[in-house]
């Protein structure tokens, strides 16, 4: 009987640990911790990107240390990530490309001249059509640049802290893609 109680306690501990190591947003379960560039990152906040009345994707921000300062996060030269879990068939490759171009214009107040070739290079890494349940990780890896992963596989990267700042400001800037998602990513 004592062995059964010990096994039961171990099982409950394992279950509660794995349950607490995740964040649920709608029907999407996100990991509370991820690792990129050999660095552990923790979820800072997560929410849903909505367009009109439709949920498009669940987005999460991962940082080394929690922060609610959008401008500091965007400017910081350290590894961090934004995870996009696609939840709608309305998101396509061309819509994502257009949303990124529009986002860069908004995040730079229309001053994309120095970034244009890198913006197109970054968008070019999204080659296949986007489908429901695909996961895109947009990661700034210190010493490397802004990397895009699709379902855990690296698709390419673009160098420059200036590019990273503009990229992260698509979600965290003064004209974000979705104001409510920004607030949630910042842990508010």
Residue whose tokens read 């990229």: 167
| pLDDT tier for residue 177 given thresholds of 50, 70 and 90 | very high
User: pTM, whole model, 2 decimals?
Assistant: 0.87
Query: CA-to-CA distance for 74 and 78, rounded, in angstroms?
Result: 10
Tokens encoding 92 = 């396509």
Residue whose tokens read 């171009």: 101
Summarised one tens digit per residue, pLDDT across range 23-77 is 999 899 999 999 998 999 999 999 999 888 899 999 999 999 999 999 999 999 9
3-state SS, 79-113, equals CEEEEEEECCCCCCHHHHHHHHHHHHHHHCCCCCC
- Helix boundaries (H) for the chain: 2-20, 70-75, 93-107, 116-124, 161-172, 179-185
Q: How far, in Å, are 151, 164, 173, 182 from residue 71 at the CA level?
A: 28, 12, 7, 12
């Amino acid at each position: 009987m004592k062995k059964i109680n010990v096994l039961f306690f171990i099982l409950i501990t394992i279950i509660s640990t794995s349950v607490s190591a995740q964040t649920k947003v709608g029907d999407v379960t996100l990991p509370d911790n991820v690792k990129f560039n050999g660095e552990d990152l923790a979820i800072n906040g997560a929410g849903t990107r909505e367009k009109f009345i439709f949920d498009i994707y669940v987005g999460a921000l991962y940082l080394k240390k929690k922060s609610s300062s959008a401008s500091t996060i965007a400017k910081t030269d350290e590894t961090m990530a934004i995870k996009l879990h696609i939840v709608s068939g309305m998101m396509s490759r061309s819509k994502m490309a257009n949303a990124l171009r529009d986002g860069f214009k908004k995040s730079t107040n229309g001053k994309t001249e120095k970034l244009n070739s890198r913006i197109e290079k970054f968008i070019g890494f999204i080659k296949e059509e986007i489908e429901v349940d695909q996961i895109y990780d947009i990661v700034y890896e210190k010493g490397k640049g802004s990397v895009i992963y699709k379902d855990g596989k690296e698709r390419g990267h673009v160098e420059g802290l200036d590019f990273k700042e503009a990229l992260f400001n698509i979600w965290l800037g003064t004209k974000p893609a979705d104001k409510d998602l920004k607030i949630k990513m910042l842990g508010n």
